[in-house]
Structure formats: structure tokens, C-alpha cells
Amino acid sequence: MRSQLLIWLCVPVLILAAYTVVVHSRHAEGRWQWWGTMLGTSASVLLAFVFGLLLHDIDVRDQTELAHARHRQALRTELLRVRRKFANLNHMTLGLGSPGKTVQLPISYIHPEPLLQVAMSDLLPEDLQDGVFKLADDIGTYNLTAGFALTAIASADPSAAHFEELGRYMAKQLRQQKQDIELQCGEVLSSDFWDVGGNP
């Protein structure tokens, strides 16, 4: 972009130089008057050029800030969605083999990829980037645990002695991971970065 602007600046300078040679060779007596006019015109063109560059720079900065604000809002919305999803998880009721003995398993699957993509961009400050990476990692761990729990419970014999222990252990692990994710979400969302004036 800057090279194009320099080319556009060089074209009028070359035209002025050629015009100077023509005026000097044909009208030597009006040379000083022409030099005054040329200097005034050149100064006006240069000021207009500098003013245009400043306006362009301000416009680019405004567009960048607007894009960052949109990305910031999109990420905040995603984080709120994740927190809401974990606050309202479906619970699978698991019978533990004995009549009346059940346990609630908070089972779901959340895609951590949108959080990872934003965390890998340069949009976030470093401390918040670490928090979003940790959140995405915690969600990935939860997804693996939920998948393992479903597989282990489906393949286990409900009449086996260890089935109740397995069910209670899986429920405890999933509840703990759910709580960790909700806490991490809260920490990330409590950052000043989400304020309207927050800068990346």
C-alpha cells in the first residue's frame, strides 16, 4: 500500500520537473514568478498528501478497533454459551444395580475448537490467552471423560460388585470437571478485557 502511495507521489514530481524544464527554456524572464507558484502548489500537494495519509491511518485504526470489538463480543458470547451449557447440562440417570440406587452423570459434548482458534489469534492479551487455552483444555478433558464414562458403563456388567463404585467415581469426576470449567469460564469473563474500551 505504501509503495503505491509513493508511486502516486513520484508521478506529480516528475510532471513538475518536466514542466520546469519547458518553462525555463522558453520563458526565462518569468522564472521567479513560476518558482513561487510551483513551491506554493507543491507545498499544497504535499500537505494534502500528508493529510490523506493521516486520514487513511485513522480509518485503518478505526476499522481494526471495530474488528477487535466484534471478535471480542463473539468470544464473550461463546464463553457465555459454554458457561450456560455447563450450568444446564443434561444428567443421565444411571441405575447402580440395586433397587433405588442411582447416580446422576452430567453428560454432554462441547466443541472447544472455537475457543482454541481465538486463543491462537493475537486478539487476546497473554494472561487471558492462557486462561482461554486452559478452558479449552479443561473442556477437552471433560469430553474425553464423558466419552470414557459412557463406554465404561455400557461395557460393564451392572450386576458386578464394582459397577456401583465405577458409576459413583465417574459421576464424581464429571461433576468436578464441570465445576472446574464453570470456575475457569467465570475467571476469563471477569477480565477487564471484555469492557467496551478493552484493548487487545
pLDDT in tens, 27-63: 666 666 767 777 778 778 887 888 888 888 888 888 8
Euclidean distance between CA atoms 60 and 54, whole angstroms:
10
Q: What is the structure's pLDDT at 138?
A: 92
Residue 123 grid coordinates: 486478539
Query: Dihedral of CA 119/125/127/128: which sign?
Result: negative
Q: What is the pLDDT of residues 134-163, one digit of tens each?
A: 999 999 999 999 888 888 877 877 777 777
